Amino acid sequence: MDFLVRDITKHFEGKYDYLKTLEVIYNSGANTCSISFLYPESIKEFSDEEKKAIADYVRQKLSLNAQVVVKFKKSYLDDRLLLREIQNFFRESYASIFPYVKEDIISLDKSVGVGIKLRFAPTVVDMVDSKRLQGELEAYMSKHFCADFACEVVADESLNEDVDVVGERMKKFDFVQLKKVRRYTVKDVSLVVGKECYPEPEYIENIKGEKQAVILAGRIENYTRKTFIKKGKKEREKAYYTFVLNEGRKRINAIYFSSLANEAKMNKLADGDSVIVVGDVRNGYGGLTVHISSLGLCEIPEDIYEVKEEPSVVSEVKEGYFTVMPEEIVALSQATLFGEARPTSQHVLQNKFVVFDVETTGLDPESCEIIEIGACKIENGIIKEKFQTLIKPKQEISYLITDITGITNDMVEDAPSGEDVIRDFYNFTRGCIMVGHNVGFDIKFIKKAGEKVGLDFDNEIEDTMTLAREKIRVPNYKLKTIVKTLGLELVNAHRAFNDAYATAQVYLKLSELA
């Protein structure tokens, strides 16, 4: 909420220019909006008069049809807190190298601001755009602490011997791009655009329908640069690149929408180049097409089809799904959720559940729209399937909603429509009890979206907030509080799937309590 901090600074003539917005939380049930500001540990505590003056200004500025609660939190530059947030950053933004980010490779220097030095094996450094990573980490840490950050990524040859060991450990994590499908390894990856290219693509023949976060490789054919006019307040010409990715036995269409900064790099590519790409496979542009988020040059071994075949867990295109394909979930945390024992609740074992969460453009289902749905399916007491997608709304996403959810207008630019998504979500929920946290808010949006395309979400509904009130005593019944009380984890709150997955674990845990 940078605009709000800027306005506070201007209104109070620079007196509070050190403030930063930590988080904004809507509680639709209580009709409240809680805004938390950070201030440096070197600043003395705010007086009650100062807090009231800032809070009154914020309420006047936002003019929300909700109670606005303003909080102030001192930003402590404790090493433990800094290390935790660095690891959170990698978990959220660079999942494929998160397992490498151990405390012993991080050095902190707080002599002037906060310096962060990250040591990785050279092979790991080659997987990422170091300059971009450094900038993103600096911005992330600056948002969470009141300090200036400088990040440096260095290659350390002494860590090479650990790469294979860590790589094996990494494959045990449930990252989407590392699911256990038949793969091969490419060599000498050199990142061209994007964030990361893990060097283990799956075979194009695995791709039977739309699929998120795939890694593919092949040679470029029919490489073409095209342009279009992007509408908006100011029309501008944007470039995109299309080509066929030829793996040898199979081909797939590919498309990359380029920023102005990346056009020079993309213009250097040509037919015959061997590349590895990361992106989402969607229908369109003449068939299945991989929409590229990262691309790198690489060397593809000649014997890729001689790799020993392993059983593939990639599902065939499921009947009834056209836009969003459910994905299998294999999460280590489930193995320890109940120790060695399985859930004993007969209600849980005898029914199927879809635990869901939505992010929206506002609070009113009559005038606002869903911009993300995340859901988990529980069968036999196990979280088995994932349904997740962004949705392109007909209205623009406001700055306030972006601050709450992290979802921007650019992120949903190529997302499917709400009408298409809700049909697939309806199919996903058939025969299931639908579960949410403070579910009244979310189900109103789901039912309204269903009505628009003639679908009736007539499922039985359960609420983890109601269940928690019956089973445990906590200071408040926010999802984050309940998760912490039950010894669970909520990463990157206010993104639909993360909230849904945490709610699913809460539901299973609460169901076992007397």
CA dihedral 238, 244, 246, 251 (to 10 degrees): 130
Q: At what angle do helices 79-93 and 130-144 cross, to 10 degrees?
A: 130
Residue 506 phi/psi, 5-degree rounding, is -60, -45
Beta bridge partners of 417: 392
Measured CA to CA, the distance from residue 480 to residue 511 in angstroms comes to: 18
Question: CA nearest 320: which of 457, 214, 424?
Answer: 424
Sheet of 149-155: strand order equals 106-109, 114-120, 149-155
Q: Looking up tokens 């220097």, which residue turns up?
A: 109
3-state secondary structure (DSSP) of residue 250: coil
Beta bridge partners of 242: 224, 255
Measured CA to CA, the distance from residue 213 to residue 507 in angstroms comes to: 28
CA-based end-to-end distance of the chain: 42
List b or e across 247-268, with b for residues whose CB sees 16 or more CB atoms inside 10 angstroms: beeeebbbbbbbeeebeeebee
Tokens representing 140 are: 């992330």
CB burial of residue 456 (10 Å; 0-12, 13-18, 19+): exposed
Measured CA to CA, the distance from residue 340 to residue 346 in angstroms comes to: 18
Decide if 291 is catalytic.
no
Measured CA to CA, the distance from residue 55 to residue 254 in angstroms comes to: 50
* Per-state percent for the chain, helix, strand, coil, to nearest 5: 35, 30, 35
Looking at 11, 144, 291, 494, which residue is catalytic? 494
Instruction: Catalogue the active-site residues.
Output: 494
